Chain A
Amino acid sequence: MTIIDLVYKAQKGNEESFLSLFQKYEKDIYRMAYLYVKNKEDALDVVQETAYRAFKKINTLKNPEFFKTWLIKIAKSCATDVLRKKKKVIHLNLEQKDFIESDDHDLPLSLTLQDLLDTLDEREKSIILLKFYYGYTLKEISKIEELPLGTVKSVLYRTLAKLEKKVRKVDMYE
């Protein structure tokens, strides 16, 4: 059965179809949540809440082929809510400057999970995840994040520079 068939069935209230769909992405959602909340219990809460909200709202999904993107948006919003409750969300002021560089970016070679967890704020984590984990283009990220393309680019470059700096700093002391 295709993803689109499963979405249609889930929209009719079939929980098994919904769970089969959800199961395809739950590990990704958990890992994404973990990156935000940094602990297992809260990350599991985010997964549960995502399943709860997604099942409740699946009727509002007009294009079943965008199920994955739709689910990622819900998961992101749940993770942000958990952080907000714990008052951990800090958004940096964004420069609204457009970049002309190509889409071909690179990450420092010695990047670690701890760098991702400790160095980046929530928006930066999100853009790095969407770009390098899920493989979305910058245009797609701008739609998911509901941000201008220029802002997405500037956040991405700033984040890469930040990671590069962090890795170099660590290298210096090693």
Chain B
Amino acid sequence: MTSLRYSLAALALIGATHSAVAADNLDIIVPFAAGGATDIVARSFEPIFSQQLGVTSVVRNVAGASATVGTAEVANSEGNPNIIGYEPAGALSIQPSLKKLPYGSDSFTYICRTVSNPMFLMVSKSSDIESFKQLVEESQEYPFLYGSSGPGTLPHLAMAALTVNSDLKAEHVPYSGSGPAMNALAGNEIQIMADTETILENYDLRPLAVFADHRVEGYPDVPTMQELGLPALDFAVWQGVVAPKGISEERTQQYAEACKATVESDKFKAFADKAKADIAYLGPEDFEAFVQKRFAANKQVLKDAGLTP
């Protein structure tokens, strides 16, 4: 019995020493294939971040299953101070409620939120719908179809929440990404889509409302959901950095400081400006609280919309 206890203690010690050693190499997991929207931001973030941290880092694309495969790899590396994940909103705040995953929203050491863009409710510019009120009225006779970049993605959830909380009648048609959905919108196969400013600006789309608690700069005429007499619907596409559980407090601080310095650097700001990503830094505690809040809110939406029991 004592020998068992000793070996357990020894194991714990090995574990502890392992977790204390921060090597010169850092693995940055991006849970999407190379070249995607998240990957591009991560690859612009990575060189500045690793310079701040004084390490050599490698971006590793581990794609699949709505970004949960790569995210699971970060969660499963408990105690490893040399791996972080550059994560999209969905993998942290939606997927754990949708299906059985090897991780939950509390399986990480939260480091920072980097960017966040509010979502807009949009219709094609060629349609004659000018306001949310008109959209609701026209949907009464024959329900509209709304697209999304896939089942259980943010565009899907935002629209599901909207149809539950308003009189809008619309049904969901998922596509394999924003691109095909935009093609369908241009061909009038679907009529409504919820997505970010990047999508709004790049295609011929008309914003009807914004899923945020205040009007967005550059769109003074686009009302918020509350102004339309609906409950506060807050949906944004954000990204952030997480590390596995069990890393030292010191390491967390190092990561957080490097992250803050990165998003405040001129180089990253210039990139974010070009890519239309709004920098929205949150430190470790704030970011964790934010994710937990979004996780609970999304869980409720999924339940209300009948997507989960």
Do A and B form a real pair?
no
